[in-house]
Amino acid sequence: MTKAIYFIDGFNLYHSIVSIQNNTGEYLKWLDINSLCKAYLPALGQKVELVGINYFSAIQDYLSLNNPDKTQRHKIYIRCLKDTGINIILGRFKEKDVYCTSCKQYIKKHEEKETDVSIAVKILEAFKLNGVI
């Protein structure tokens, strides 16, 4: 039996969904990732076992001051994904000073950290432990 595992970069997926919404009006933010992944299994072959779905993201806690609802919705969505059996791997955001050429000052920006490395590590683990495609 062939084994399959999915690796999903949550922020790339989110921004793709926002782009779809902006271009078509389709609302997909509460996408059922578990069902979507299972729907693609037949394309991989007749005897495919789903080993897991890994969803990588980071909570934007720094937004809580200005937009607490957005942070709360993200946390609820992550909890819903977890409840459907999806493995959640959270990174973090790092604050850094960036020079703004418009206002000629340094401003605080946040960048997501650890997601790409976490995805790479999980892929290597999957190959080593499961012989996953």
How confident is the model over 34-92, as pLDDT tens digits?
999 999 999 988 889 899 999 999 887 665 567 778 888 888 999 999 999 999 999 87
Strand ranges inside the chain, DSSP E: 2-9, 48-57, 87-90, 92-100, 105-113
- What is the residue range of 66's domain? 2-130
Asked if 28 contacts 20 with a C-beta cutoff of 8 angstroms, the reply is yes
Domain count, the chain: 1
HSE toward the beta carbon, residue 32, CA cutoff 13 A: 6
Inform me whether the pLDDT recorded for 132 exceeds 80: no
Structure tokens at 113: 């950290």
Task: Give the type of residue at 85.
Answer: G
In the β-sheet with 87-90, what is the strand arrangement from edge to edge? 2-9, 48-57, 87-90
The rounded distance, in Å, linking the Cα atoms of 60 and 68 is 10
Nearest of 121, 124, 105, 125 to residue 56 by alpha carbon: 121
pTM exceeding 0.95: no
If one compares 118 and 45, the residue with the highest pLDDT of the two is 118
Choose the weakest-confidence range: 21-35, 52-66, 100-114: 52-66
Question: Which one-letter DSSP state was computed for residue 30?
Answer: T
What CATH number did the domain enclosing 106 receive? 3.40.50
Share of the chain above pLDDT 90, in %: 37
